[in-house]
Amino acid sequence: MRVLIVEDEPALADILAEGLRAEGMAVDTAYDGDTGLEMATVHGYDVIILDRDLPLVHGDEICRAPAAAPEVNARILMLTAAGTVDDRVDGLALGADDYLPKPFAYPELVARVHALARRSGPASPPVLSRAGLVLDPRRRTASREGRALDLTPKEFGVLAELLRADGAPVSTVHLLEKVWDANLDPFSGVLKVVVHGLRRKLGDPPVLHTVPGHGYRV
């Protein structure tokens, strides 16, 4: 899952990003509306966590982006210090999918992000399974034939994307887009390293296969 946080309080944005990365998400941050709008239209985010009162470009303009730019498919969770009913109604009317007033409880934000991510693409079951593999994205657990797998966050993210494809090939571009943030050098070979480690942990017989010229599949 890939998330963009657009928040003009850098300390808050960085704390949220660190927490969500610990949940296994790929997270980018923008500290003003202009940068946030540009990133939202360039990268394929599942969820955008959006502060409403932003410098340079107001959060309302970013909230309208999915309607104005068909390539933006992200669900939007709007954050604001103004928490009246009218404020919530205004935010939802602008195109936000959910609304969370500040201050908020961090576990609630995480739960809302997960819920929105499930709505950002084709519906997938809450527990993913194929070829003896069982993966629960919410509980962060994975197993093969009943044997628990100790996966790193990146290994977990790659395996989740492969299982969501239900046997179809998944491109390297898609895996890099969904599991890593914008700071990744796409030519670093990091995906191959993660896949190598994942194959070792999954064991025999092999279930993770390379699709030449495209990517991988389970």
pLDDT tens digit sequence for 7-34: 999 999 999 999 998 888 889 999 999 9
- Domain 2-119: CATH superfamily is Response regulator (3.40.50.2300)
Q: Work out the average pLDDT over 74-87.
A: 76
Q: Bridge-partner residues for 179, per DSSP?
A: none
**14-20 long-range contacts, CB within 8 A, separation 24+:** 16/49, 16/106, 16/109, 19/106, 19/110, 20/110, 20/113
- pLDDT, residue 138, reads 78
pLDDT at 60: 85
Check if the beta carbon of residue 37 is closer than 8 Å to that of residue 65.
yes
Which tops the pLDDT comparison, 93 or 140? 140
Tell me what percent of the residues of the chain surpass a pLDDT of 90.
Answer: 47
- Going from N- to C-terminal start, the domains of the chain cover 2-119, 128-217
pLDDT at 206 over 90: yes
Q: How far is CA 89 from CA 66, 77, 97, 161, 187, in A?
A: 18, 13, 11, 34, 44
Which listed CATH number (1.20.1260.10, 3.55.40.20, 1.10.10.10, 3.30.930.10) goes with 128-217? 1.10.10.10
